[in-house]
Chain A
Amino acid sequence: MRRSILFIAFLLSCGAVWAQKSGEVTGRVRGADGGILPGASVVIKGTRNGTMADSLGRFRLNLSADTATLAVSFIGYQTKEVRASVARSLDIELEASSSQLSEVIVSIGYQQLPKERATGSFAQVDQKLFNRSVGPDVISRLADVTPGLIFNRGIVKPGSQTNISIRGQSTIFAKADPLIVLDNFPYTGDLNAINPNDIESVTVLKDAAAASIWGAQSANGVIVITTKKAAYEQPLRVSLNTSLTVTQKPDPFYLPRMSSSQVIDMEQLLFSRGYYKTAENSPGKPALTPVVELLIAARDGKISAGSADAQINALRNVDVRNDYRKYLYRNSVNQQYALSLQGGGKASRFHLSAGYDKGLSSQIGNSSERVTVSANNDLTLLKGKAELSTGVYLTRQRMIDNALGLSYFNLTSTSAVYPYASFTDESGNPARLSHYYRNSFLDEAASKGLLNWGFVPLDEMGYRNYQTRQLDYRINTGLRYKILPGLSAEGLFQYTGSSSRGWRQQNQKSWTVRDLVNRFTIASETGLVRPVPVGDVLDQSAVDVSGYFARAQANFEKTILEKHQLTAIAGAEVRDLGTKSNAWRSYGYDDALGSFQQVDYLSTFKSYINPASASNRIPQYGGMSSLTDRFVSYYANAAYTFDGRYLISASGRKDMSNLFGVNANQRGVPLYSVGVGWNVHQEKFFHARWLPQLKLRATYGYNGNIDRTLSAYTTAYYSIASQTEIGLPYSLIRNPPNPDLRWERVRMMNFGVDFKTAAGRVSGSIEYYIKKGFDLIGDAPLAPQTGLTSYRGNTANTSGRGIDVLLTSNNFQGKFSWQTQFILSYASIKVSKYLPKSSNLRGDYVVSANGYPTQGRYLTGMYSLPSAGLDPENGDPRGWLDGKVSKNYSALLAVADLNSLVYHGSSRPLVFGGLRNTVSWRNWSLSANIGYRLAYYVRLPSVLYSQVLTGVTAHGDFSKRWKQPGDELLTHVPSMPASTNTNRDLFYTGSQDLVERADHLRLQDIRAGYSWNAVSSGSFIRDFEIYAYAANLGVIWKEMKGSLDPDFVDTTPPQRSISLGIRANF
């Protein structure tokens, strides 16, 4: 410690010296971590003379004698006494106090505040915790380490930035993901463009006091991300971080499905019933599977029955999933390299960073590259009165998407490839699959001179050149000026945007292009005419986002008579963000010449396949859009602390936007919050030595949310003339008139206690909140006679409550240490008002993923049809109708009374969190994180006989079906009916038999590291760490039976991965 002070003092004396007067001592106060400590108190010991450090941590103080002892203190740091003498400049480094509560500075994006002076609910992920995991993006590193925050696995909401909920879902139809704030400004861009190695810390704002400063965008919570900055007067530091992550290839066998042999049996049965007759005679010449073709050939006497049987039986052991594994998937590899340089002089500081990431996706053909560069620089001007900061952040990404997705392998446009398909023939050469059209038709077409129409998957893989290049940029400038002691003004401006270019070139040899050319080919007496030219098909797209944020803010901070501390900010903000996109297609593209050919988009053509289909136009891919988001906001925030004991805070904000297109008085919504806090341990009467820290706090306030798809007026969209089938432009009504449209509001009350026992043995915080949503946008069914079947308006209220607990226990400390961190979140959101009633109970409650908003029930509810088990005689599923067992499926489906549905509970976890244990010994450390999710339900997919009886590869539950009396005791999978009975399928798939508790424990990750710190400051390497990290290690306990992961019952879960990395500072 002393050494470093001397070292810094030495540096200071070498550099230009801060102007000094006689009788005056100057200096600056910093934390041992290098951070400046604005507002630190500097008092001459034994007197009441003192001062406070300015925003850069500097102070000047008149001494009455030539030397004196200064007591320097700052909340969250140990008070330090320093010997000072006139005309000497001091650099004082304060050690963080061991109190975990106080060391935290939270950022709300408008100001930094010490957590001890905050009343709101903040969850902070510091750099160490943030870097514990290795993911290439910022957001995934917050998983299972942040109380109240949950990743909604397997739920992909289009248009969302993240799939995170903070303290439960706050809205029904509006934007449901939290606001991301990056370096003081909302960030709406691509989260993958942020390099996690540049991140200093992440703060999650959870309650009204914390988040309402963000007003109308804060109802879902706010995630504040701060990038790294250098400290002033800091020697040059170089940091290097590199890691390599390997992830197992996906398992195509994870989701159960019928075996090839079972499907072949079904095809034979269906063939004997004449099922394929319609397809065989269809003018669309739809593809038939090899088994059906063999059966037809045998029927028509083209091959012998014995030969057909032999060939069919040979297919029974073929499983296309082996080929998926072999030809489509690989272990994915991700490499990260990051380098940063930082340093600071007296009047300037800088941080430069560069990162390179490369990922090879698990799908062969897909990869991505990212280069990030950032430079930020702060300059102190006007004798320390002003600080000018600038920052430039650039990210260049290239994504290559040449993989053939599974959706590419189809028999027809509606059914997937047959399960016994094989990508190679007996001799290992690429094989042709039956795809879209019957092979006999394709062979005949080829004989007439059409392009080869066959689909050979392994050849296809080289025929795509799909890539996206994207440049993201942010340019920040800020000027802060100290007007008076304690009062400063600042102006911040950000110019931001991104530019993305998509290039999707399909080679003329690809099936898609050949098919397109052939479909439009006209066979005439003079030869073939090809309205779609033979050549590559190139789709290009361009999306350009650009905009600015500007903010003017005044900051006030003053301590009056030592005990009264007041901080306040007030400001105004303008935001304008425009998105222009544009896409177009070129036919007959020739890469060598860079040329393309014109096609006739307007005429209609006969299909070569089915000449009766005469109204085909050459597909035109393209479009353009221009979107504008504008906001004007005013905000203020003030906090008063008395004697470090009592805290009061208040904030207010008004946002106005162009989104509603309504009268000016409805454009904006004022939102506010108030909070109080009490540092009990600061009280004279509080003497519990075992509890050196105890803080109570409570807040109340409103956050807002908006649905940008709505408007108060009747609005319509124009269609493009050449894309309508009649060639006349027309417009579609999108929105009915809705003059009463308002913004959604969420009211939150939060009560928290923060504590720490002696020597930091156990510390933590416990919070309880009550959350009510008002005027939530909901769908009200309308009488269709109005011209609309539903209407989106402010129709719903919700009422929720929850608990967030964070406990840290230092079980052992010393050479060997063991720390346990426990996170528990409980979030229950129920609907308190929803006026509309469902008129289709089964559709709205059972089929839709989250049930239908219903008063008194969970917003994300799980419902099912009551089951009476299988019929012991024939294995039919049975339900309950008016208290009696029934198999009248259409009546069972036409549920008329909500009470006749089973209401299980929530479909999202009500209780979730994590348990992280870290043990370390000397330089070694090992930690493991277990995540848990409890009290929720999942609906399992199962076999649909409408698929089985149409020859489609259905769910693997087919094997577990009822086959003979007695089976009903062992299975709930119904028997196979003689013919398709859609209602029977619908009843079974909606029945309570398929709803299970999804509670489970998951070993999220394990991390082992070896770290080393330089003992002497002269060492070239200051510190380094080498680590190994394994993630997605699997479910370790679950309530439901079977092999499926409860969070992934219809998709493949993320695979196990292992990372190795080195982090070094020079």
Chain B
Amino acid sequence: MKKYLIWPILAMLSGCQDSFLDVKPDKALVVPRTLADYQAVLDNFDSMNSPGLNLIAGDEFTASFQQFQSWEYVERQAYLWADDLYSGAGSADWDVPYKAVFAANLVMEGAGKLSPGPELSNLMGYAYFYRANAFYGLAQQFAPPYEAASARSQLGIPLKLTTEVTKTVPRASLLDTYQQILADLRQAAELITAESVWKNRPSRAAAYALMARVQLAMGDYESAEKSASASLALSGKLVDFNDLDPAAKLSFPNSPKDANQEVLYYNRMNFYLFFFTPYYQVDYSLYASYGSGDLRKQCYFDTLADGTVFYKGSYAGSFGFFSGLATDEVYLTRAESYARLGNTSLALSDLNALLVKRFKNGVFKPLVAATAEQALRLVIAERKKELVARGLRWADLRRLNMQEAFKTTLRRRHEGKEYVLAPGSPRYTFPIPSNEVSTSGIQQNPR
């Protein structure tokens, strides 16, 4: 009797049970399935941020004892090039780029189920670009500088190419690391066709620009010149600083939507206390290096009441320090490549094309050089002055220190003690956070 009563109810329940239980527990919860879902994952540009500790370790900014005291532990340690940076904690500089890699891999894995078309092609192109950009950022901070001769035997970074979270990979060789970055960028340059009003979505020109940046780091000047030319052919616009208001609190707009026209790809660095006024000051010799009529001095810098010089020229406005790609860098990369390849006039023409937009109207006298060597020195000097706080200086120090002519020793005085970072020091490669080493067992960097 009991059976007769219960079975119809059970049958009724089980009949509709599956669809009844298929309802999402939370409407806001999305399992990414559509092209728009995947695009939204890639648009989370906080997870695309670049490493920022290298700026603290570099020679563009410095700090008083009071300013130093106000930073986080990791910042203080990075500033003094200490043995241990993280005190057992993880580091956003390692974690965030790998978040970007995860997002890119997620899109690449999921895209197979989407219908092909130009939108999908762009989406895939973005994914390749973001992965390349993340790997490049990691390689500049956590892998040794690239030397063609030893790249096969040196360790690069783990090249995680799938979303499986339970599977880890060892560090690839430095050669494989850079080859992977270039392969991803070649895909990106091929797949991206659209220009988006949102500059956090890279353009094809951005893919070539990043390729040029990578090739420069590898010392492959011929390729760097080709990539830079490909990028400038697509987009070579420069901002004329005469159109800027030197008195403005910030020289450039905030949003990736109305970023200035030099921006090819909008990206910024991980946030550190260091980056907030008044927690740092601009290195005096850098500040003093701008000649008269050079508008960058007013457009990039301002002074607090107590004389502290701070930086206001970020292409990300007040949203932090810009670490994306812009045409000014591409001009300088191509100028350097030409100079290295011995083409003095083309090097100077690129350099002057940029600088004429940086000086007060009518003041600028085009630079001249007798030799390619001289032209190269001019380009390297201007590179430091133009690309302030872009997260490029550290990579430049690393590669230039391998050349006798450009070796630089960094020095800091702190609490009566002198700290020195010699060219070629292993401290130009950051230690890998210990939570990575202990969980995946990858090899730590020598310090």
Contacts and interface: CB of A to CB of B under 8 A. Distances in A.
Interface of A: 274-275, 277-278, 281-283, 483-484, 487, 489, 552, 554, 556, 570-572, 574, 576, 604, 606, 611-615, 625-630, 632, 634, 656-659, 661, 664, 667, 708, 711, 713-719, 725-734, 736-737, 781-789, 791, 837, 839-843, 890, 893-895, 979-980, 982-983
Contact of B31 (A576, A606, A715): A715
Interface string B420-435: 0000000000000111
B26 A634 contact: no
B99 interface: yes
A787 B101 contact: yes
Given A785-B98, A890-B84, A731 B41 contact: yes
Interface residues of B, number: 84
Prevailing SS type, chain A contact patch: mixed
Contact of A787 (B40, B98, B256): B98
Contacts of B25: 627-629, 658-659, 661, 708
B23 A658 contact: yes
A-B pairs, 6 with minimum CB distance: A787-B102, A783-B440, A730-B43, A839-B435, A626-B27, A731-B40
A483 B10 contact: no
Nearest to A895: B88
Contacts of B69: 979-980
Contacts of B318: 612-615
A787 B96 CA distance: 7
B24 to A, nearest CB: 7
Given A729-B43, A731-B30, A731-B41, 11 more contacts: A483-B1, A489-B2, A612-B312, A658-B20, A664-B21, A726-B198, A736-B165, A781-B435, A786-B164, A837-B438, A895-B88
Given A281-B306, A656-B17, A890-B84, A718 B103 contact: no
B293 interface: no
A488 to B, nearest CB: 10
Contact of A661 (B24, B165, B168, B277): B24
A626 B6 contact: no
Nearest to B43: A730
Contacts of B438: 837, 839
Interface centre among A629, A659, A727, A733 (most CB of B within 10 A): A733
B370 to A, nearest CB: 44
Contacts of A718: 28, 30, 40
B200 A728 contact: yes
Contact of B9 (A572, A625, A787): A572
B44 A630 contact: no
A628 B24 CA distance: 7
Contacts of B101: 785, 787
A51 to B, nearest CB: 20
A711 B249 contact: no
Interface string B242-271: 000000011000111100000000000000
B255 A839 contact: no
A578 to B, nearest CB: 9
Interface of B: 1-2, 5-6, 9-10, 13, 17-18, 20-32, 37, 40-45, 47, 66-67, 69-70, 73, 84, 87-90, 94-95, 98-99, 101-103, 105-106, 158, 160, 163-169, 198, 200, 249-250, 254-257, 277-278, 304-306, 308, 312, 317-319, 433-436, 438-440, 442
Nearest to A708: B25
Given A274-B66, A726-B45, A731-B41, A664 B5 contact: no
Contacts of B95: 784, 789
A490 B2 CA distance: 11
A787 B165 contact: yes
B26 A625 contact: yes
A979 B414 CA distance: 14
Given A783-B439, A789-B435, A980-B69, A729 B278 contact: no
A979 B67 CA distance: 13
B257 A278 contact: no
Given A282-B278, A572-B6, A714-B106, A787 B21 contact: no
Contact of B37 (A614, A731, A736): A731
Given A274-B66, A727-B255, A787-B165, A843 B89 contact: yes
B20 A714 contact: no
Contacts of A604: 254-255
A888 to B, nearest CB: 11
Given A283-B277, A726-B256, A785-B168, A634 B10 contact: yes
B9 A278 contact: no
Contact of B255 (A282, A487, A726, A843): A726
Given A277-B306, A552-B5, A783-B168, A717 B24 contact: no
Given A629-B25, A782-B165, A281 B304 contact: yes
B163 A714 contact: yes
Contacts of A785: 98, 101, 158, 160, 168-169, 436, 440, 442
Nearest to B302: A612
Contacts of A982: 73
Given A783-B440, A894-B87, A726 B24 contact: no
B88 A730 contact: no
Contacts of A556: 2
Contacts of A572: 6, 9-10, 13
Contacts of A615: 254, 317-319
Contacts of A632: 13, 17, 20-21
Contacts of B440: 783, 785
B434 to A, nearest CB: 6
Contacts of A729: 40, 43
8 contacts: A274-B66, A552-B6, A576-B20, A612-B250, A627-B26, A657-B21, A789-B90, A839-B90
Nearest to B101: A787
A728 B198 contact: yes
B163 A840 contact: no
B160 A786 contact: yes
Nearest to B44: A730
Q: Which of A489, A625, A732, A785 has the most CB of B within 10 A?
A: A785
Contacts of A737: 163, 165
A733 B103 contact: yes
A571 B6 contact: yes
A789 B439 CA distance: 10
Nearest to A554: B2
B240 to A, nearest CB: 22
A787 B163 contact: yes
Contacts of B99: 733, 787-788
Contacts of B20: 574, 576, 630, 632, 658
A80 B368 CA distance: 121
B21 A658 contact: yes
A173 to B, nearest CB: 17
A416 to B, nearest CB: 19
Contact of A716 (B32, B166, B306): B32
Given A615-B317, A894-B88, A625 B28 contact: yes
A784 B21 contact: no
B40 A730 contact: yes
Contacts of A483: 1, 5
A452 B16 CA distance: 63
Contact of B439 (A487, A730, A782): A782
A711 B2 CA distance: 37
A625 B105 CA distance: 29
A841 B89 CA distance: 10
Contact of A728 (B254, B257, B434, B439): B257
A715 B317 contact: no
Nearest to A949: B69
A713 B27 contact: no
With a 10 A CB-CB cut-off, give which of B40, B94, B95, B434 has the most chain A CB atoms.
B40
Contacts of A734: 29
Nearest to A279: B278
A628 B169 CA distance: 39
B227 to A, nearest CB: 28
